Amino acid sequence: MSAGTIVTPELFSAMTSPEAAELASASALRPVAVLPTGAVEQHGPHLPLALDIWLASAVARAAAQGQDGIRVCEPLPYGSSQHHRAFAGTMSLSPRTFIAVLCELAANLWQDGYLPVVLNGHGGNRAAIQVAITTLGADGVVMAGFSYFDLIADVAARVLPDHAGGTGHACALETALMMHVLPQTVRHDRIPEGTTPPSWPDPHLYSGAAVSVWRPFETIRPNGVIGTPSDATPAAGAALFEAAVTRSRDTLLTLQSHYGQRRPS
């Protein structure tokens, strides 16, 4: 635990081992153990390397507040970020390693009586999380996962000038969220103007492109930004964060009600 960690009731690792065992058996439903995932990678010239994991952790902790059956695990900060390695500071796990770590941690939680749910903050982790869920399912372990930003596309469409072409990476959405959650980390004087040059398939976050391809980010835009970060405002960030927290909480509770039933031993 870092010196700056604020210990609050929703933290999984703040429990003692007997308390963790007691919570796991306290009700007919498994408690949810939320594992925030993200990345430590470049976010253009204006945002910090840890943005993805900081935002995922902030959403997870806010979503779990006041919920007796939800605990937030220590975050897994490193994700699959090889496509950002041309930019200094990016720390990446291979997809194989990331999947293996997810599977082992989730299996531990399931064996201890919890329902493991990944709350993800990095688009590059999506495919690996799906593979981990499928791999564990074949072994009888139920794990779920979602990316918080996928839950708020309609809010982005309402509060951002160009949610389709303006969001992607270090974009209006992420810049606005950081203006609200951690405003001191945004380098306002370095927010780049302009937007992403046209490319195919469309790399933007909400493009819904039917075709997938792997590309290093420096080939898309030299500054590593996809979208239009200059469209960001603190007010938009507040609306996006509130929606991310509310919808993540609703999603976690729905997952628990559907998949948290204890199976006969």
Those residues whose C-beta lies under 8 Å from the C-beta of residue 49, and which sit 6 or more positions away, are: 40, 41, 42, 43, 89, 90, 91
pLDDT of residue 231: 97
Question: How much is the average pLDDT of 109-125?
Answer: 98
Retrieve residue 94's tokens: 């291979």
Q: 12-257: which CATH number, 3.30.420.10, 3.40.50.300, 1.10.1040.10, 3.40.50.10310?
A: 3.40.50.10310
**CA–CA distance, 253 with 188 (Å, rounded to integer):** 37
Local confidence band at 4 (pLDDT 50, 70, 90 cut-offs)? low
More confident residue, 113 or 262: 113
pTM of the model: 0.95
70-72 and 115-120 beta bridge pairing: unpaired
What pLDDT shows up at residue 216?
A: 93
| pLDDT band per the 50, 70, 90 thresholds, residue 264 | low
**29 pLDDT tier (thresholds 50, 70, 90):** very high
Q: Cα angle at 125 between 53 and 129, to 5 degrees?
A: 110
Please write the tens of the pLDDT for every residue from 226-252: 999 999 999 999 999 999 999 999 999
- 1 pLDDT more than 50: no
Q: Is 263's pLDDT higher than 80? A: no
Structural domain spans, the chain: 12-257
Q: Is the peptide bond before 18 cis (omega within 30 degrees of 0)?
A: no
